[in-house]
Amino acid sequence: MKQYSYFPGCGLSPEGFGRAFDWSIKGVNKVLDLEFKEIPDWNCCGTVPYDTLHEHASFAVCARNLALAEQIGGDLVAPCSSCYVFLSRTNQYIHEYAKVKKEVEDALAAGGLAYHGKVKVRKVLDVYVNDVGYDVIAAKVKKSLEGLKVACYYGCQEVRPIFGRDHPENPKYMDKLVKALGAEAVNFPLKSACCGGSLIISEEDASLELIKKLLDSAVSNGAEVMITGCPLCQLNVDAYQAMVNRKYKTDYHLPILFFTQLMGVAFGLDEKDLGLKTSIVPVKKALAKFI
Amino acid sequence: MSFEPKIVGILCNWCSYTGADLAGTSRKKYLPNVRIVRVMCSGRVEPTFILKAFEQGADGVLVCGCHPGDCHYQDGNKKTARRMPLLKKMLAQFGIEDERVRLEWISASEGDRFAAIVNEMTEQVRKLGPFSGNGGGANG
Amino acid sequence: MAPKIGVYICHCGSNIAGIVDCSKVTEFARGLPNVAVARDYKYMCSDPGQNLIKEDIKKLGLNRVVVASCSPRMHEPTFRRACQDAGLNQYLFEMANIREQCSWVHVDKEMATEKAKALVSAAVHRVALQEPLETKEVAMNPCTLVIGGGVAGIQAALEIADAGHKVYLLEKEPSIGGHMAMFDKTFPTLDCAACILTPKMTSVGQNHNIELLAYSELVELSGYIGNFKAKIKKKARYIDTVKCTGCGRCSELCPTSLPNEFDCGLGQRKAIYIPSPYAVPNKAIIDAKNCLHLKGKANGKDVCRLCQKGNEKKGLVGCEAEAIDFDQKDEMVEIEIGNIIVATGFQQFDPAKIYQLGYGRLNNVFTSLEFERLTNASGPTSGRVLLKDGSEPKTIAILHCIGSRDANYHKYCSRVCCMYSLKFAHLLREKLPEAAVYQLYIDMRCAGSGYEEFYERLQEEGVNFIRGKAGEVTDLAESPEEKDRLVVMVEDTLVRRKRRLPVDMVILSCALEPRPDTEQLARILTLSRKADGFFLEKHPKLDPVATTTDGVYIVGCCQSPKDIPDTVAQASAAAARVLALISKGKVEIEAAIANIDEEKCSGCKICIDLCPYKAISFDEEKKVSRVNEALCKGCGTCVAACPSGAIKGRHFTTEEIMAEIEGVLA
C-alpha cells in the first residue's frame, strides 16, 4: 500500500470548523483501503497571518511539518487548500532560493530537525483521482447518487498551475468524480472563483459579494448541493449564507458539503461518521433520497 | 606582501572574449591576475593546454565559452562541457584542488559577470596558495 | 627562415599610457626572443602608426609583427591589411590586447604594466610559430533559392530576377502571398493589401527568371556558399498545372465543403479548390484528406469524380482541360544554387491557450487574422462586420497584447499589433459609424513614419482607449445590460477602477510567433535560433539579414516580428547582398581552418561526428578523414579531439597556443 503522511491543519483538527472533512476523509480512506498517517506534533502551517507578517520565519515554521513528514515517508496530504499552498510554496522556495534554504536549515537544526526536500505535497482530490482512480471509486459505490445535481466548487487555491495537475481555469477532477458516484455535475462557470477566503473577516462586504455570485451561479444552473475540497470555502459559503440572504434579500438554501462527505454517502457510510449534522445550512432535504 | 596568483584565461572569440572586452569598454575594474589567451571556440581547448599552463607556472586556469545553445559553432561548447569535468576528475587524483580549474559560460553581454568571476577566482586561488605541482599549498 | 619580429606598443592617447608604462613594456619587448625592433607610439592605428610598421617591414625585412593595443576584435583587420600592403602575409601578424583587457580594467599601474608585458610576451612567442596562409576562392553559382512566398520572399525574388539572375521561389502553400494577401487594409496609409501585393505576385508568376515552386518544401540541403545543392519535394496537387486554366468549374461540381484556410476557417471551400481569389499560380488543388475519390481510392473504391465527369443535372461539364490527375505523385527535384534567402514568416499565436479570454468557447471572440478576413471584401461576409448570428455588433472591444509581453507565452512585443489594432478600430468606425469601439492597451507603440499621426487620428475618430490589459472575457451577466452579451473585465489603470464592458464582439490582437517548422528548417540549413524561437541573425544591429551560415540570409518576420515596410527593406537588403556576391563571381573561404595530415590519420572517425557543419568526410579507399575546406569554419573542436594529433587547426595550432601560454606566464 502506498505510503502517505497527513497534515490536518487547524481547520481539520477535532474542534476545527472543517472537522467533518477529517472524519469523512478517514471514512472514505477505509473504503478505498488507504492510510494517511498523521504527522505527530504538527504545528500550524503559518498561512496568511504569519506569512504576511514575517515571511522567512513562516517558511521555517512551515518547513518543520515537511521535516516531520519526511521522517514518515511518502507524499504529504494536506486537505486544506491554504495549508496545501503554503506547504507547497515553502517546499518550492526552499528548492529555488538558496537564502531561504539556509535560513530554514538553520532554524530546523536548532530544533534538532533536518529537511532534505524529499516530500511532495498533495491534495486529497489529487490522490483519489490519480492514485486510486475513478473506476475503483465507482466500484465502491453502494448507493448511486443518480439524479442528484451537484455544483463542484474547487476554490481558487487548489488549481494553482505551479503545484496542481488539473486545468487552472476549468478543472475537471471533481466533476468526473461526481459522475463516478452516479450524480450529475452541473455546469458551474465559477467553479474556481474566489470565495473571499480570510477576507470574510476584514472585508466582509467584498467577500459576501463573491459568495453571493457563487450561490447565484450554482443555483441558476440547477445545483441541489455544492461540494468543495477547501474548509475555508465550505465555511464561507455555509456559515455566511444567511448573511448573504439578509444583505441581498435572496433566499438561498444550498447545502455545501465536503466532497468526501458526498463520497461517504455514496459508499453507504453512516451519516454520523460523515459529520453531516455539522453543516449550518441543512443537508437532509437535498440528500433525502440517499441517506 | 600577499601572494599574487597567476591565472591563465582561455576565452572563446565570439562570446566570452567579447564579454571580457565589454568589461573593458564599460571600464569595469577587476583584479589583474588573469591573463587571457584567445581561441575561436571553447571546443578547441585541449586538456593539455591546461596542464601546460600549470607546468609553466600558472596557479589557476579559467576556461570560458558561450552559453549552451548559443555556441557560434553550434555545439563546440557541449564538447567542452564534457571534457572539462573529466579533466577535473583526473586533476583531483593528482591532488590538484578543484578551485584551480574553472569552466564558465559567459555571453558577449556579460562584462560585469566576467569581472566578478575574475575577482572571485583570484581570491579563491590566493587562499589556496601557489601551485606547487605536488598537490598545492605553499609548503608543497 | 628565423623569425624577425617587430613589436609595436600603442599608447592609444592616455587610454593605455595612463595606466600601463609603455616605455617599460617596449624595453621589455626588446629583450624577448627573435624581436628585431620594438617601438611605442601614440596611435598605432593611425596612418603614421601604420606606416611605422610598413617601413620596418620593408627596411628591416621583418617577417612577423606584433601590435600591443586595443582588442583584435577592433583593429586586427586594420593591421592585417597594413602588413599585407607592405608585402607581409596577413596571418604573420598577432595582437596583444592591453587596452580592453588591461589598461581599462585595472587600477594598479605596476600590476597592469606587468600584465601588459606578459601579454606582449605571449604574442611574441605565438607569432614566431605562425605560418603564412592564403584565403581560397570558390566560384559563385548565380542562382538563388528564396524560401517563402510572402511579401518578403516576393520582394527578394523580384529584385534578384530583375537584375537578370535566376531565382527559385519555394512556397509551402499552394499559392504565394503569405499573410499579407489575407489582410484588408494596411496601416497607416490604409492601402488595400491585395491591391499593392497582387501586382507583385503577378510579376513573380510572369517573370522569366523566377521559377515558382509552389506547394513544395525543402527536404535536404548540402554544400556551402556559392555551391549549394537542395532537394525539394513538389507535393502532389492532383492537378496538371500545365493544363489547368484556373476556371474554377471543378470547385462548383465538388460535393464536399469544409472550412477555408484562407478565411481562417470562417468561410468554406471545396475539396478541390483554388486557394484564393488572387492565387498565384492560379491553379486548382485537391485536398487529399477530404477528397471523396482519393479517400475511396485508398480503400480500393472508385467514387465521386464529379469534378472530372461533370454533373448532367446541373448542366455542367467536368474539367474540359482534362487537368485532373488522381494518380499524381509527389515529385523530388534537385536544384543547385549559390545563395539562400529564408523568408518563411510567422504564425499567429493561438489564443485558445488563454482559457479566460474565451476564444473557441464563446461566440464572437475573433483573432486578428479572422477579423482581417471579416472586413475584407473578398472574405466570408463580403467585408461586412457581422456576428456569428448575422447581426451587426453595437460595441466592439479590441484587446492588445494577447500572447505578447506575457511571461506565460512570449515576453517580446510583437511590434505590429498596436498599429493593426488602430487600423481595426478605424475600419470599425468606418463600417459601423454607430458602433462604440474600445481599445484595451498596455502601451501604445506607434514608432514609424506616420504611425503616431495615425494614433492621433483614431483618438479624434472617437475610439475609447482604455489603458489596461483585459483580464477575462465572460458571458456571465451580472446586470441586465450584460445579458446575452460578452463582458470584458479590465482594470482601467488611468481611472484606477475595475470595469466591466458589455460588448458584442471581441477582437484579440494576437502575437506573431515563430512557425512550428522553424526547428526543422534550422536543422536543414544549419541556422541558429534565438531564445524566442526566431532565426538568429549574424549581428542584431550591424548585420541583421546575414546569419553565421555563409550564403544563407533571413528576412522578414522569420527573423523577428515586424511591419511590411521593414520586411520589404530587409528583403531588398538580402537581395543586394546576394547580388553583390553574384557580381563578384567568387567567394573567399576562411583560411584559419582545420587540415588533416593523412599520414597521421588512423581513420578512427571521431572527428566526423563532432563537426557541426558536416565538413569532414571519410575516404573509404584511403581509410582517412578529410576536411572540406569550404565547409570548415575553423572552430577547432576536431583538432582538440583527434587522438593522433593528425588534425592541424591552422592559425590556432596546438604549438601556437602552447607557445602563447608559455609566453603569458614568462
pLDDT in tens, C394-450: 999 999 999 999 999 999 999 999 999 999 999 999 999 999 999 999 999 999 999
Give contacts of B52 with chain C, Cβ < 8 Å: 658, 661-662
Residue A48 has pLDDT above 90, yes or no: no
The single residue listed with the C-alpha cell 483573432 is C367
A29 belongs to a structural domain: yes
Residues C17, C35 share a domain: yes
B79 belongs to a structural domain: yes
User: How much is the CA Rg of chain B, to the nearest whole Å?
Assistant: 14
User: Which pLDDT does position B135 carry in this prediction?
Assistant: 45
Residues A106, A138 share a domain: no
- pLDDT tens, position by position, C156-192: 999 999 999 999 999 999 999 999 999 999 999 999 9
E strand or H helix at A62? helix A55-72
Reported as a pLDDT band with limits 50, 70 and 90, residue B132 is confident
Reported as a pLDDT band with limits 50, 70 and 90, residue A6 is very high
Give contacts of C476 with chain A, Cβ < 8 Å: 189-190, 217
Arithmetic mean of pLDDT over chain C: 94
CATH number for the domain that contains residue A29: 1.20.1050.140
Give the number of residues written for chain A: 291
Q: Which residues pair with C440 in a beta bridge?
A: C399, C466
Arithmetic mean of pLDDT over chain A: 93
Residues A209, A253 share a domain: yes
User: Which pLDDT does position B1 carry in this prediction?
Assistant: 64
The single residue listed with the C-alpha cell 579531439 is C641
Q: Do C476 and A190 touch (CB under 8 A)?
A: yes
Q: Do A170 and C476 touch (CB under 8 A)?
A: no
Residues A183, A107 share a domain: no
Question: Between these two residues, C666 and C389, which has the higher pLDDT value?
Answer: C389
Looking at CA atoms only, how far is residue B43 from chain C in angstroms?
5
Looking at CA atoms only, how far is residue C354 from chain A in angstroms?
9
- pLDDT tens, position by position, B22-35: 899 889 999 999 99
User: Which pLDDT does position B136 carry in this prediction?
Assistant: 44
B140 belongs to a structural domain: no
Q: Do C122 and B48 touch (CB under 8 A)?
A: no
Residue C548 grid cell: 553565421
Which is nearest to A289 in space by CA: A157, A169, A168, A146?
A146
List all residues 6 or more positions away from C575 whose beta carbon is below 8 Å from its beta carbon.
C155, C156, C159, C160, C341
Residues A150, A100 share a domain: no
Residues A46, A19 share a domain: yes
Give pTM, 2 decimals.
0.81
Buried b (16+ CB within 10 A) or exposed e, C356-372: ebbbeeeebbbbbbbbb
Residues C171, C45 share a domain: no
d(CA A211, CA A236): 7
Residues A276, A145 share a domain: yes
Reported as a pLDDT band with limits 50, 70 and 90, residue C590 is confident
C666 belongs to a structural domain: no
Phi, psi for residue C315 in degrees, rounded to 5: 75, 25
Q: Do B46 and C640 touch (CB under 8 A)?
A: yes
Residues C196, C65 share a domain: no
Residues C599, C554 share a domain: no
Looking at CA atoms only, how far is residue B9 from chain C in angstroms?
10
Residues C145, C129 share a domain: no
d(CA A255, CA A226): 6
d(CA C177, CA C173): 9
Q: Are C401 and C417 in contact (CB under 8 A)?
A: yes
- pLDDT tens, position by position, C5-60: 999 999 999 999 999 999 999 999 999 999 999 999 999 999 999 999 999 999 99
Chain centroid to CA C349: how far? 18
User: Which pLDDT does position B24 carry in this prediction?
Assistant: 93
B48 belongs to a structural domain: yes
User: Which pLDDT does position B65 carry in this prediction?
Assistant: 94
User: Domain end: A76, A96, A122, which one?
Assistant: A122
Residues C442, C401 share a domain: yes
User: Domain end: C134, C149, C184, which one?
Assistant: C134
The tally of domains found in chain C comes to 5
- pLDDT tens, position by position, C332-377: 999 999 999 999 999 999 999 999 999 999 999 999 999 999 999 9
Residues C297, C224 share a domain: no
Query: What is the DSSP pairing of strand C227-234 with strand C216-224?
Result: antiparallel
d(CA C551, CA C223): 10
Give the domain extent around C307: 249-317
* Cα dihedral: C623, C625, C628, C633 (round 10): 170
Residues A149, A39 share a domain: no
Letter for the amino acid at B76? Answer: G
Residues A181, A145 share a domain: yes
d(CA C461, CA C484): 28
Letter for the amino acid at C269? Answer: R
d(CA C176, CA C151): 9
Letter for the amino acid at A88? Answer: S
Residue C365 three-state SS = strand
Looking at CA atoms only, how far is residue C432 from chain A in angstroms?
33
Question: Region A155-173: what's the mean pLDDT?
Answer: 86
User: Which pLDDT does position C537 carry in this prediction?
Assistant: 86
**By CA distance, what is B83's nearest residue in C?**
C641
Q: Are C44 and C74 in contact (CB under 8 A)?
A: no
User: Which pLDDT does position B139 carry in this prediction?
Assistant: 41
CATH number for the domain that contains residue C197: 3.50.50.60
Q: Are C536 and C528 in contact (CB under 8 A)?
A: yes
* Least confident span in A106-120, A225-239, B100-114, C497-511: B100-114
C324 belongs to a structural domain: no
d(CA A275, CA B94): 70
User: Which pLDDT does position B140 carry in this prediction?
Assistant: 37
**By CA distance, what is C472's nearest residue in A?**
A169
Nearest to C658 among B41, B52, B58 (CB): B52
C591 CB within 8 Å of a chain B CB: no
d(CA A173, CA A181): 13
Letter for the amino acid at C306? Answer: L
Give the domain extent around B46: 7-127
B135 belongs to a structural domain: no
Nearest to C637 among B4, B35, B44 (CB): B44
Q: Are C587 and C629 in contact (CB under 8 A)?
A: no
- pLDDT tens, position by position, B49-65: 999 999 999 999 999 99
d(CA C5, CA C91): 13
Question: Hey, which residues 109-168 in chain A have their CB within 8 Å of chain C?
Answer: 167-168
A169 CB within 8 Å of a chain C CB: yes
State the distance between the two ends of chain A, measured CA to CA, in whole angstroms: 31
Q: Do C612 and B75 touch (CB under 8 A)?
A: yes
Reported as a pLDDT band with limits 50, 70 and 90, residue B137 is very low
CATH number for the domain that contains residue A193: 3.40.50.11810
CATH number for the domain that contains residue B40: 3.40.50.960
List the single best residue of A160, A162, A169, A219 to mutate versus C (max C Cβ within 10 A). A169
Residues C523, C485 share a domain: no
* Least confident span in A13-27, A47-61, C466-480, C573-587: A47-61
d(CA C96, CA C102): 10
Which is nearest to C76 in space by CA: C120, C45, C55, C34?
C45
Angstrom CA distances, A108 to A52, C237, C588, stand at 21, 70, 66
Nearest to C118 among B17, B24, B35 (CB): B35
Residue C62 grid cell: 621583418
CATH number for the domain that contains residue C32: 3.40.50
B104 belongs to a structural domain: yes
User: Which pLDDT does position B133 carry in this prediction?
Assistant: 65
Question: Hey, which residues 208-247 in chain A have their CB within 8 Å of chain C?
Answer: 213, 217
B67 belongs to a structural domain: yes
Q: Are C105 and B115 in contact (CB under 8 A)?
A: yes
B111 belongs to a structural domain: yes
Q: CB-hemisphere CA count at 13 Å for A176?
A: 15
- pLDDT tens, position by position, C48-106: 999 999 999 999 999 999 999 999 988 898 999 999 999 999 999 999 999 999 999 99
Residues C524, C479 share a domain: no
Residues A109, A68 share a domain: yes
Residues C480, C395 share a domain: yes
C617 belongs to a structural domain: yes
- pLDDT tens, position by position, C288-310: 999 999 999 888 999 999 999 88
Residues C534, C507 share a domain: no
Chain centroid to CA C418: how far? 23
Helices (runs of H) and strands (runs of E) counted in chain C = 17, 36
Question: What DSSP string describes C527-593?
Answer: --B-TTSSBPPSBTTTBSSB-SSTTEEE-GGGTS---HHHHHHHHHHHHHHHHHHHHH-EEEEPSS-
Q: Residues in chain C whose beta carbon is closer than 8 A to a beta carbon of chain A?
A: 355-356, 474, 476, 478
Angstrom CA distances, C464 to B65, C190, C469, C623, stand at 52, 21, 14, 75
Flag whether B touches A (3+ CB pairs, 8 A cutoff): no
Reported as a pLDDT band with limits 50, 70 and 90, residue C528 is confident
What is the greatest pairwise CA distance in chain C?
104
d(CA C555, CA C575): 10
Question: Between these two residues, C524 and C62, which has the higher pLDDT value?
Answer: C62
Residues A60, A105 share a domain: yes
The tally of domains found in chain B comes to 1
C13 burial (CB, 10 Å; 0-12 / 13-18 / 19+) is exposed
Question: Region C316-322: what's the mean pLDDT?
Answer: 90
C592 CB within 8 Å of a chain B CB: yes
Residues C471, C394 share a domain: yes
Give contacts of C613 with chain B, Cβ < 8 Å: 73-74
Give contacts of C355 with chain A, Cβ < 8 Å: 167-170
Residues A140, A252 share a domain: yes
Give the domain extent around A28: 4-122
E strand or H helix at A107? helix A98-110
User: Which pLDDT does position A49 carry in this prediction?
Assistant: 80
Residue B114 has pLDDT above 80, yes or no: yes
Buried b (16+ CB within 10 A) or exposed e, C296-317: eeeeeeeebbbbbebeeeeeee
Question: Region A190-216: what's the mean pLDDT?
Answer: 94
Q: Do C636 and B41 touch (CB under 8 A)?
A: yes
**By CA distance, what is C477's nearest residue in A?**
A217
Nearest to B43 among C105, C635, C660 (CB): C635
User: Domain end: A91, A122, A153, which one?
Assistant: A122
User: Domain end: A77, A100, A122, which one?
Assistant: A122
Q: Cite the DSSP H helix spans in chain B.
A: 16-25, 47-55, 76-93, 111-128
List the single best residue of C20, C609, C631, C635 to mutate versus B (max B Cβ within 10 A). C635
User: Which pLDDT does position C406 carry in this prediction?
Assistant: 95
A101 belongs to a structural domain: yes
Residues A179, A87 share a domain: no
Looking at CA atoms only, how far is residue C356 from chain A in angstroms?
7
C307 belongs to a structural domain: yes
Q: Are C647 and C560 in contact (CB under 8 A)?
A: no
B132 belongs to a structural domain: no
Give contacts of B31 with chain C, Cβ < 8 Å: 106
C306 belongs to a structural domain: yes
Residue C335 three-state SS = strand
Give contacts of B38 with chain C, Cβ < 8 Å: 72
Q: Give ipTM to 2 decimals.
A: 0.94
E strand or H helix at C341? strand C339-342
State the distance between the two ends of chain B, measured CA to CA, in whole angstroms: 19
A277 CB within 8 Å of a chain C CB: no
The tally of domains found in chain A comes to 2
User: How much is the CA Rg of chain C, to the nearest whole Å?
Assistant: 32
